[in-house]
A and B are shown apart, each in its own frame.
Chain A
């Protein structure tokens, strides 16, 4: 077992909590549900600690558990359809206000799943394509495709701001 005590586990969780919240929120888009999912994911991770072979892999490992728990939550409440079935537009309902600067956050929030999670993990959490593929249980090629499509949308949404840079 990598972690010999509870303290060490808690430290690691605190280091990753922001990323964990981003992942949960990117799937659930709701603060209360995300908090519940994090709590549940922490319990699960703690029970399965002995399956973690390398301490350096803690972040992707815990994010994968958070992602799984969040997706289960969605399926349980059947708020949306399974991710693989999404083939519609990559983004939805973003009100473009040309008069003001668009924040990246609001642009990202307007993306549909699974593009939103991929973008958050790649740009905000600086994870590699391979790690994102593991966390979201898909292939690196699919992650690259998601990022590329999302990038096109973001470029459209943020072009004013980008051109001003």
Chain B
């Protein structure tokens, strides 16, 4: 049997089966979506300490000092409040973890002088997170120990200046394959209103200009880097998927440019992640309502 064994080994070596690209891509995608190792325990250990220290400090500053020191009390009274203040804090956290399923959802709450706008955002976020939590528990029951699922939600204050406030919610869901999407909420602090993409538009040409510019940037990127793929007219799909509506995700950068954000799979294969395109404020200025001019400057 030895000769035959050698023959089998050498034949196996020469045939050396290849792994299909689709499988390779899914593996890469899975790897890139793994949470960072060791992040979680750190978060749990550190947060309460910071929170309790902060609580102590607030207590000392707001209650203790004003009551024991006349000078401090006067100083606090005179502190000027600059601009309209918008604050974001985590009010709830949903956490679950076992060998197969994991959930970590931070629920932020917006508060400040723009009361109505803040209420609107808080309501939207609490509806979204409740849906995700319910979905997670029903998946948990349905899948049991026969599969893996996870959902993570966190948030970030993208911009908070005198004129503008943007909160970004990131949702990451995985069960087999994975999906990431974002929700952006904007408050125009000059009048306290919620702003959506459509509110900025001077007229219908607004979307055409943006779509054209995005497609131009996609083409430019794919020409420079052959690894990049977007679904454009001349791609394998044969149709472009760039389509903006009045509620599409966007945010503003510090220097007043606009960034359009697409969800995963919306305009490109999953391996491209969630593509973003920066539209210069020079283009934006021409197509927005005049009342927003001071924001894009």
A36 to B176, CA, bound (A): 6
The segment from B12-20, B87-95, B107-115, B162-170 found at the interface with A is: B12-20
- CB of B220 within 8 A of chain A? no
Whether A42 and B31, one on each chain, are in contact in the complex, defined by CB atoms closer than 8 angstroms, is yes
Closest to B26 in A: A35
A14 to B30, CA, bound (A): 12
Residues of A within 8 A of B17 (CB): 18, 22, 105, 124
Closest to A76 in B: B146
Given A5-B37, A31-B20: A13 and B31 interface contact (C-beta under 8 Å): yes
The segment from A43-51, A80-88, A129-137 found at the interface with B is: A43-51
- CB of B70 within 8 A of chain A? no
Given A3-B37, A123-B9, A162-B4: A35 and B23 interface contact (C-beta under 8 Å): yes
Additional pairs, 15, CB under 8 Å, beyond known A39-B30, A165-B7: A1-B37, A17-B19, A22-B17, A35-B26, A38-B26, A40-B176, A43-B34, A43-B148, A48-B99, A104-B12, A105-B17, A123-B8, A126-B9, A155-B4, A158-B7
Q: In A38-84, which residues have CB < 8 Å from any B CB? A: 38-40, 42-44, 46-49, 72, 76
Q: In B123-181, which residues have CB < 8 Å from any A CB? A: 146-148, 150, 174, 176-177
Residues of A within 8 A of B8 (CB): 104, 123, 151, 154
Whether A17 and B27, one on each chain, are in contact in the complex, defined by CB atoms closer than 8 angstroms, is yes
A18 to B99, CA, bound (A): 26
Chain A contact residues, CB within 8 Å of chain B: 1, 3-6, 9-10, 13-14, 17-18, 21-22, 31, 34-36, 38-40, 42-44, 46-49, 72, 76, 103-105, 123-124, 126, 151, 154-155, 158, 162, 165
A143 to B130, CA, bound (A): 51
Whether A21 and B19, one on each chain, are in contact in the complex, defined by CB atoms closer than 8 angstroms, is yes
Residues of B within 8 A of A155 (CB): 4
Closest to B5 in A: A151
Sort A-B residue pairs by CB-CB distance and give the 7 closest, nearest first.
Answer: A123-B12, A39-B30, A35-B23, A104-B11, A43-B148, A10-B31, A35-B26
Residues of A within 8 A of B100 (CB): 44
A47 to B16, CA, bound (A): 31
- CB of B45 within 8 A of chain A? no
Closest to B146 in A: A76
In the assembled complex, 28 residue pairs joining A and B whose CB atoms fall closer than 8 Å, in A order, are A1-B37, A6-B34, A6-B37, A9-B37, A13-B27, A17-B24, A18-B19, A21-B19, A21-B20, A22-B17, A31-B22, A38-B23, A38-B26, A38-B30, A39-B26, A39-B177, A40-B148, A43-B148, A44-B100, A44-B148, A47-B99, A72-B146, A103-B15, A105-B17, A123-B8, A123-B9, A124-B17, A155-B4
A18 to B147, CA, bound (A): 23
Whether B31 and A34, one on each chain, are in contact in the complex, defined by CB atoms closer than 8 angstroms, is no
- Cβ-defined partner of A39 (8 Å) among B4, B11, B12, B176: B176
Closest to B32 in A: A10
A105 to B18, CA, bound (A): 12
Q: How far is the CB of A157 from chain B (nearest CB, A)?
A: 11
Q: How far is the CB of B99 from chain A (nearest CB, A)?
A: 7
Whether B15 and A21, one on each chain, are in contact in the complex, defined by CB atoms closer than 8 angstroms, is no
Whether B146 and A46, one on each chain, are in contact in the complex, defined by CB atoms closer than 8 angstroms, is no
- Cβ-defined partner of B1 (8 Å) among A5, A36, A151: A151
